Amino acid sequence: MNQLAMFAPEGAIAQAVAPMRIAIVSDAWHPQTNGVVRTLTSTCEQLRLWGCELKVIAPDSFASVPCPTYPEIRLALSWPGQVARMLDGFSPDAVHIATEGPLGLAARRYCKNHGVPFTTAYHTQFPEYLARRTRLPAAVFWPYIRWFHAPAQHIMVATQSVRDELRAQGLTRLHHWSRGVDLAQFSPDAPVPDEYAGLDGPILLYVGRVAVEKNLEAFLSCDYPGSKVVVGDGPARAALERQFPDALFLGKRSGRALAACYAHADVFVFPSRTDTFGLVMIEALACGTPVAAFPVAGPRDIVTDEAGALSEELCRAIDAARFCEAKHCIARAREFSWESATRQFLEGLAPLDTHQQAEMVGVLG
C-alpha cells in the first residue's frame, strides 16, 4: 500500500505514489504560525499533489481554550470518543500523530486500544520548551515524552542531533523526516523592504515566534553594531519592544515580503536553543543570507562553515557569518526540498493491513 514508484524522465525525479488515505492528528494547526504548522501544511500540499486523500484532525474542528501562558495556541476540547469517531469514519490507510497535546493523546489512546499501528513525530524540544515556561528542570518532562512516543512504529525526527537525544532517552524506533524550502518563493531577488531604508548596517535579522522559549533576549542584548530587526509576533513582543527600543519589530510577514526581509539582511540570527530543526534558517539561506546561531540541535545539523557560523558567543558567530558568501548559502538551502522530505514521511508511515482496517471500520458500528 505504501509503495513508492520512482522514475526520472529527462533527468528530473518524478514521483508516482500509490494513493493513500492518511489521517494526520495535530494540536498545532492554522491560524497558528510556527514551524510545525508550516511543515504539516507543506507536507499535506505535496501529498495531495501525489493523489493522497488526507484527514487532518486539528483544533479548528473542536471547541477550544487558550493555552495557559500562550493564548495564541488553542487547546482542543473534544468529547469522549469524538476523535475515535473521526478516525473510524475516515478509515485511513495510515495514522500519523504529529503532536503530544490533547488531540494527540486522544488519537494515541484510540490506536492503542484497538491495535491500530501509528507513527509520531518529535517536532519540538518539549522538555526544554516547558522548562523555559515553568522553570522546572527539563528532566521532569522526559518521562511523559518517553511514554507518549514509545508505542509508535516510527518516531519521525528531522536531524541527527535529535535522533541521538531520543536514543539516549531509550526511544529507538526512529525515522528520518527532513524539511524543505520553497526556492521559488525564497530567493535573493526579492525587493528591498521599505522598512530597511535608512537602517545602519549591518542588518541583523530574526524571524519566528516572539516567545520566551526562542531566547530572543540573547540576540537583542548582543552588543554588536548595526540594526536588529525582528519579524514575527507572539506573547513576548510587547515586553521586548519596551526592553529593547532600538530594535525594529515588524510583526508578521509572509510570502515575498518575508523573503525580502531575509534577502536584504546581512546575517540571520537564530538564538533558539529549543528547536529541533528551524525552518527559518533554510529560508534565510535560500535568500543568500548566512546564519549565526548557538551550537545546538537544529543549527548544528543545518549550518555549515560556508553558510554561517556557530558559537556560544553569539556576537562572535555573527561576526564570522558576515564573511560567508551568498552562493554557498543558496547551495546549502538547495539540499532541502519538500518533495524529498515528503517521500521520507511516506516511507516512515505504518500502513494498516486489511484486517486492521476492517476492525477499525467496525469499532463504532
Over residues 246-284, the pLDDT tens digits come to: 999 999 999 999 999 999 999 999 999 989 899 999 999
| pLDDT for the residue 31 | 87
The position carrying cell 518516531 is: 155
Residue 356 pLDDT greater than 80, yes or no: no
- Which of 154, 144, 150 has its CA nearest to residue 170? 150
Matching CATH number, 194-336, of 3.30.9.90, 3.40.50.2000, 3.20.20.70, 2.40.33.10: 3.40.50.2000
Residue 359 pLDDT greater than 80, yes or no: no
Residue 363 pLDDT greater than 60, yes or no: no
Question: For residue 229, what is its C-alpha cell?
Answer: 530587526
Domain ranges of the chain: 4-180+339-362, 194-336
Residue 7 pLDDT greater than 50, yes or no: no
User: How do residues 317-353 score in pLDDT, each as one tens digit?
Assistant: 999 999 999 999 999 999 999 999 999 999 999 998 7
Give the β-pairing of 94-97 and 70-77.
unpaired
3-state secondary structure of 228: strand
pTM of the model: 0.87
Taking the CB of residue 336, how many other CB atoms lie within 10 A of it?
Answer: 21
| 194-336 and 4-180+339-362 share a CATH fold | yes
Q: How far apart are CA 126 and CA 232, in angstroms?
A: 21
| pLDDT for the residue 125 | 85
Mean pLDDT value across the chain:
90
| pLDDT for the residue 34 | 87
57 touches 23 (CB < 8 A) = yes
Average pLDDT over residues 50-65: 93
125 touches 275 (CB < 8 A) = yes
Q: How far apart are CA 200 and CA 345, in angstroms?
A: 43
In this structure, which topology does domain 4-180+339-362 adopt according to CATH?
Rossmann fold (3.40.50)
Residue 210 pLDDT greater than 90, yes or no: yes
